């Protein structure tokens, strides 16, 4: 059986002790997509929804989600984030890509914060557009890359 860092010798959930680790610069980039009707994506891009600018609200929600990650993920360390950015791109007529980048100088990585930022931004897009398109699909949320820490850099293939 592999040794998971969040499981102690008794097999119980455990918050990892990072007290002896040195603080280093760390960065994580995550992404995901929301697939929707072409008319829905066009309304988002045209800022035509009565609820307001969907991408502006989703950006703020994603940043807020990253900042609150430790409140949502039980064994996640609270981090003093140095930077969170959330960006959007239309990949085609019905796919909105969300990319989040998180930076911190700390003792543990920011992968969970970047993944949370993407997830919360995507959920906000859904919430603001569900009256137009209940069939939207959130998917492909994944880590694209990370830098810093003992394990060093990692980048998704392809």
CATH number at residue 64: 3.30.70.640
Please check whether residue 4 lies inside any domain of the structure: no
> Tokens standing for 77?
């360390």
Task: Give the whole-angstrom CA distance, residue 148 versus residue 151.
Answer: 7
Please check whether residue 12 lies inside any domain of the structure: no
The active-site residue out of 46, 127, 133, 157 is 127
Q: How many domains does the chain have?
A: 1
In terms of pLDDT, which residue wins out, 59 or 17?
Answer: 59
Task: Give the whole-angstrom CA distance, residue 46 versus residue 103.
Answer: 31
Residue 125: which domain range? 24-147
Question: How far, CA to CA in Å, does 28 sit from each of 12, 37, 61, 87, 94?
Answer: 28, 30, 18, 14, 26
* pTM for the model: 0.93
Please check whether residue 153 lies inside any domain of the structure: no
Residues 73, 134, 98, 111, Cα dihedral to 10°: 10
Please check whether residue 2 lies inside any domain of the structure: no
In the three-class reduction of DSSP (H, G, I as helix; E, B as strand; rest coil), residue 42 is classed as helix
| The pLDDT of residue 11 is above 60 | yes
In the three-class reduction of DSSP (H, G, I as helix; E, B as strand; rest coil), residue 80 is classed as coil
Confidence (pLDDT) at 150: 85
Q: Is 127 a catalytic residue?
A: yes
Task: Give the whole-angstrom CA distance, residue 3 versus residue 10.
Answer: 12
Confidence (pLDDT) at 1: 39
User: 59-93: per-residue pLDDT in tens?
Assistant: 999 999 999 999 999 999 999 999 999 999 999 99
Helices (H), the chain: 38-45, 54-67, 69-72, 111-129
């Amino acid at each position: 059986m592999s040794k998971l860092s969040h499981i102690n010798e008794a097999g119980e959930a455990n918050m990892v002790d990072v007290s002896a680790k040195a603080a280093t610069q760390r960065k994580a980039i995550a992404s995901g997509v929301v697939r929707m009707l072409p008319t829905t994506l066009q309304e988002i891009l045209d800022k035509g929804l009565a609820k307001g600018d969907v991408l502006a609200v989703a950006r703020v929600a994603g940043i807020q989600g990253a900042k609150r990650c430790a409140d949502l993920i039980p064994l996640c360390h609270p981090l003093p984030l140095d930077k969170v950015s959330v960006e959007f791109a239309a990949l085609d007529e019905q796919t909105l890509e969300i990319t989040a980048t998180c930076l911190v100088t700390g003792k543990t990585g920011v992968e969970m914060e970047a993944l949370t930022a993407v997830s919360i931004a995507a959920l906000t897009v859904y919430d603001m557009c569900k009256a137009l398109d209940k069939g939207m699909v959130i998917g492909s949320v994944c880590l694209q890359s990370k830098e810093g820490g003992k394990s060093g850099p990692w980048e998704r293939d392809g």
